[in-house]
Structure 1
Amino acid sequence: MDGAINGFPPYGFSAVVKFGGSIMRDLAVCKHAVAELERLADHGHRILVVPGGGIPDKAIEAVDVAASLTPSTAHHACALAQDQTGYMLADPAFSSKLVPSASLGECRALAKAAKVPVLLPSRLLFAADPVEWTWHITSDAVAAWIAWLTSTPRLVIWTNVDGVYRGGAVDDPAALVEQITARELVRFGHTSIDACAVDFMAQKHLPGAVINARYPARLADWLAGTPVRATDITVNGSEEADINPQTLGDT
């Protein structure tokens, strides 16, 4: 996929990395993960970071459990929680190269300048309104949609576990699913990647992986095509054709 369409300059991202909010529970791990993103940028990778809702999102969920927020309130508050996490990740306390932006065009320019753009997705989500207002849709699905929207060839869910485990048995190393197609993974339901994101990946032929940010070098290895301890999410043969929304005609 070269993304070359006359009059439509490609975004040129090599991967969308959904930076799981769970990573921020351990700030030392978070700093090491951010440092790895900076190192990848120094080596020519153009990474687009989509932040999870993280700590602000958990606070919204707690209020919803206690007071039952309307879907509109929950959806819009959670989108803004992603922005808040993005601002924190890009703060000098963590990073010298991560830069927050609400504009995909600016994100493209930042990546070209060897920075690591952190998309603040709320403005884009409010304008396009692409997802249902439900707790079943998480920042994983938002990241998958953004990867498709920008014609990015792969999606990484960077989180605090090694990947997807059969039966959710995260304490059983033998239960780790090392490779699976997106269509097969849909049947697992919500795991360390939400089911809506996996279904989107299957429908849009978008491969990716679930990778543990506690071992940040695994991300570089996976991007280089080296097998790592993670869950590699593939798409079947002919399905790997082209995820470009401009050429597929999908909406």
Structure 2
Amino acid sequence: MQDDLRGFPSYGFSVVVKFGGSLMRDPIICKAALAEIERLTDQGHRILIVPGGGIPDKAIEAIDASHPLESFTAHHACALAQDQTGYLLADRAFSSKLVASSALGECRALAKDGKVPVLLPSRVLFTIDPVEWSWDITSDAVAAWIAWITSTPCLAILTDVDGVYREAATNDPAALIEQIDAHDLAKLGHTSIDACAANFMAKRGVPGVVINGAHPQRLAAWLERKRVTATTITVGNSNKVPIQIVASGAA
């Protein structure tokens, strides 16, 4: 998806990683996942992190459940929640190479310099206003959109489960979906990835994978074309999916 267009320099990201806010519930797991991302950066991967809403987002959802918020309030507060999570991930308490930035151009420069940019998405979202002000749109969809506008080859969603499960049976390993087309995934509704994100990936040709961030070595294995426990998301007959993900007998 990286195009060489005269006058339009490539962002050069090899993968957009949506770092699920759920991973911040356990600081040890969070730090281990970030350490693995930093190690991959040292190996030459250019990774752009898009943070989830995390703990601040859950607080907003709780308020909305008892006192329904206007769409303007919920949308803007949730975007800022992603920023807050991004700042925390980039703090030296959690990482050493992560740098928070609200500008994609600066993110490109940071990645070129061997850093791991963490996009604080609120400024981009407020300026361009690309998504609906709805609870149907989550940070998954935002990350998919970021991957598309930066022409990044794939999207890796790090979350707290091994992938997408049939009937949402996350406790049944046999229910793990090893591979699914993005169109079919969207039909399942909200799973471990939101339906709007899956539909966007299908329509815009963005392949991806859902990986358990508690096992960060799986991201490295995926990038190395090894077998891992995860769910790969394909986009029709496209050859853009760089790695085949197989769950059985995997890491």
Q: Report the TM-score when normalising by structure 1.
A: 0.94
Contact 2:15–2:155 (Cα < 8 Å) also in 1: yes
Residue 112 of structure 1 is matched in structure 2 by 112
Matches within 5 A, 1:1-251: 1-238=1-238, 240=240
> Which consecutive residues of structure 1, in runs of 5 or more, have no partner in the other structure?
242-251
Contact 1:79–1:121 (Cα < 8 Å) also in 2: yes
- The letter for the 2-side match of 1:54 is G
**Whole-Å separation in 2 of the counterparts to 1:239 and 1:44:** 23
- The letter for the 1-side match of 2:102 is A
Residue 249 of structure 1 is matched in structure 2 by none
TM superposition shift of 1:2: 3.9
Contact 2:183–2:198 (Cα < 8 Å) also in 1: yes
**Whole-Å separation in 2 of the counterparts to 1:95 and 1:185:** 33
TM superposition shift of 1:238: 4.4
**Whole-Å separation in 2 of the counterparts to 1:194 and 1:238:** 22
Identity across matched positions, percent: 68
**Whole-Å separation in 1 of the counterparts to 2:212 and 2:164:** 10
> Which consecutive residues of structure 2, in runs of 5 or more, have no partner in the other structure?
242-251
Deviations 1:175-194 (A, max 9, x none): 00011111111111100000
SS of aligned partner of 1:65: helix
SS of aligned partner of 2:72: helix
- The letter for the 2-side match of 1:177 is I
TM superposition shift of 1:44: 0.3
- The letter for the 2-side match of 1:90 is A
Contact 2:141–2:197 (Cα < 8 Å) also in 1: yes
- The letter for the 1-side match of 2:229 is R
The structure-2 alpha-carbon separation of the partners of 1:205 and 1:239, relative to structure 1 and needing over 3 Å to count, comes to farther
**Whole-Å separation in 2 of the counterparts to 1:127 and 1:231:** 33
Contact 1:205–1:239 (Cα < 8 Å) also in 2: no
SS of aligned partner of 2:135: coil
**Whole-Å separation in 1 of the counterparts to 2:119 and 2:240:** 26
The structure-2 alpha-carbon separation of the partners of 1:2 and 1:73, relative to structure 1 and needing over 3 Å to count, comes to closer
Deviations 1:36-64 (A, max 9, x none): 01001100000000000000000000111
**Whole-Å separation in 2 of the counterparts to 1:3 and 1:99:** 26
- The letter for the 1-side match of 2:172 is D
- The letter for the 2-side match of 1:19 is F
Name whichever of 231-240 and 219-228 sits farther off. 231-240
- The letter for the 2-side match of 1:196 is C
Runs of 4+ in structure 1 deviating by more than 4 angstroms, as ranges, are 238-241
The structure-2 alpha-carbon separation of the partners of 1:99 and 1:217, relative to structure 1 and needing over 3 Å to count, comes to same
**Whole-Å separation in 1 of the counterparts to 2:143 and 2:171:** 27
**Whole-Å separation in 2 of the counterparts to 1:175 and 1:112:** 40
Deviations 1:62-104 (A, max 9, x none): 1111111100000000000000000000000011100000000
Deviations 1:159-217 (A, max 9, x none): 00000000000000000001111111111110000000000000001100000001000
- The letter for the 2-side match of 1:237 is N
**Whole-Å separation in 1 of the counterparts to 2:61 and 2:44:** 38
Equivalenced residues, count: 241
Q: Report the TM-score when normalising by structure 2.
A: 0.94
